[in-house]
Amino acid sequence: MKYFTTPIYYVNGNPHIGHAYTSIAADILSRFWRTIEGEKVKFLTGTDEHGQKVAKSAEKLGIKPLEFCDKVSMEFKNLTSILNLSNDDFIRTTEERHKNTVIKMWNILLKNGYIYKDFYEGWYSVKDEAFVPENEVKDGHDLSGNKLEYLKEESYFFKLSSMQDKLLKFYDENKDFITPSFYMNEVVSFVKGGMKDLSISRTSFDWGIKVPNDEKHVMYVWLDALCNYISAISYDNPDKIDFDQDLWDNSYHLIGKDILRFHAVYWPAFLIAAEINPPKKLIVHGWWRCNGEKMSKSLGNVVDPIEVIKTYGLDQFRFFLFKESVFGTDCNFSVEHFKTRINTELCNDFGNLIQRVFVLALKSTENSTFIFSRNYDDHDIVDYVSSVSDLKDNLEKFMKDARLTEYLKEVFEKISLANKFVDKMKPWELLKTDLDKFKKVITALIDSIIEFSAYLYPYMPETINKVFATLNISIDGYMKNKNIDSVVISKPTPLFKKID
């Protein structure tokens, strides 16, 4: 059983490559564990709809905040289809099920003595919905140059300062809480540096969840937003937070490195204070840049995932995102690299392998049924079969650690071995000279193609369904019963188009 989540996305910007990247990563993990490993999986995504930024965007358009949120949230819902995400839930922070959970969380924190009322005075970034310490402010701007607001208002506070020891103990006892592990160092040194109490309510606007019994306050948007992960697995119990504990004990939050502190410090602090265990793991990824530069509207280099998908295809995009960079570190988007990878790895290496093998197999049959012949005696065939036999173990290991790029590399190394095997065995000649050996070579290759395809399914589900359909089988059927002795082959059509 596993529970994968994406961050819930702010509704005041258009869907961009960052959203696509986090979401597809969660989709790959979900599909792997659900379809390939047969586990029960819940996959959640959604939208983060409260806060000053959203209120301002709605005001600019002269509409009510909820009307604005309905519209943009729908765009994010559409994005889940455009990206072919297999999420089985979509949460909005404006839903009752979420608001109820957040209010219960507030009441527990209050009851446990972690909330008090005072005044907040200091800088606030509306862009990041974050309080900015004085040493990170220069002429009213943060270190990235974003304009800040100076706030002075009554506020409720969460006793974050009292959480230092508990958090450090938690990190110490859960050394693999964050992957890749180097992000852990950053978090530990932040917490060791000492933390001030966190302001968790605002009074200068009202687009948010109202604080119980003090309705001029709305809750800080991050406290609200983080609770979504629990709201979505909560049962409808009016008295307490009552949720699917098994799912929670196996929960994995996918996040970009920019929101690490919220997830690795504030979220566990709220949970520990509420006597709830933190999630099992944070899976953190780096940032995409474009041609070496930070993506920004003013530079005009923002990659629009919908455009890329329309032009080059969804599975090509999904493949590229995870093959191009090492998942966890920063990455660079370049159309030239994109084209090269599609043409060489997808068209030449993977697509052609399938096309060549299926066409030859079909040629050798009378009624399109290819009967497998696995009594291998030839040492070239035996060597080949053994060279690809460790695939399953290697891939499971990579997926357990969310090493999504190494996983893909491993599959493509095996694909390259298969291509070398074809070139060496020259099955088109065997078809004329040694039918018995031909059948064995093709059997070994079809077995590999089915296995490579199954393992590529999480990354390129549509394409792989096509491969399976050409063999008149389905991935679900195959995963349930791998003992196939024959396949009916339909005429294959090329899986990928070359890009000029």
- Per CB under 6 A, residues contacting ligand MSP are 7-10, 17-19, 21-22, 48, 225-226, 228, 255-256, 258-259, 287-288, 295
User: Could you give the CA distance from residue 380 to residue 215 in angstroms, rounded to a whole number?
Assistant: 76
> Smallest distance, Å, CB 248 to ligand MSP?
15
Helix ranges restricted to H, 232-313: 245-249, 260-261, 267-273, 305-312
- Closer residue to ligand MSP (CB): 73 or 443: 73
- Closer residue to ligand MSP (CB): 190 or 372: 190
Q: Which residue number is nearest to ligand MSP in terms of Cβ? A: 256
> Smallest distance, Å, CB 200 to ligand MSP?
14
> Smallest distance, Å, CB 1 to ligand MSP?
22
Residue 448 in contact with residue 374, Cβ under 8 Å?
no
Spell out a b/e string for 135-155, using b for 16 or more CB atoms within 10 Å of the CB, else e: eebeeeebeeeeebeebeeeb
> Smallest distance, Å, CB 387 to ligand MSP?
36
Residue 86 in contact with residue 34, Cβ under 8 Å?
yes
- Closer residue to ligand MSP (CB): 267 or 468: 267
Spell out a b/e string for 210-222, using b for 16 or more CB atoms within 10 Å of the CB, else e: bbeeeeebbbbbb
- Closer residue to ligand MSP (CB): 111 or 147: 147
Q: How far is CA 290 from the centre of its chain?
A: 20
Spell out a b/e string for 343-374, using b for 16 or more CB atoms within 10 Å of the CB, else e: bebbbeebbbbbbbbbebbbebeeeeebebbe
> Smallest distance, Å, CB 284 to ligand MSP?
9
CB atoms within 10 A of CB 166: 13
> Smallest distance, Å, CB 11 to ligand MSP?
8
- Closer residue to ligand MSP (CB): 262 or 496: 262
Structure tokens at 231: 């709201």
Nearest to 471 by CA among 496, 497, 445: 445
User: Could you give the CA distance from residue 186 to residue 200 in angstroms, rounded to a whole number?
Assistant: 24
- Closer residue to ligand MSP (CB): 226 or 353: 226
> Smallest distance, Å, CB 176 to ligand MSP?
20
> Smallest distance, Å, CB 144 to ligand MSP?
13
Structure tokens at 277: 């265990």
- DSSP for 318-331 reads HHHHHHHS-BTB-E
- Closer residue to ligand MSP (CB): 142 or 410: 142
- Closer residue to ligand MSP (CB): 17 or 347: 17
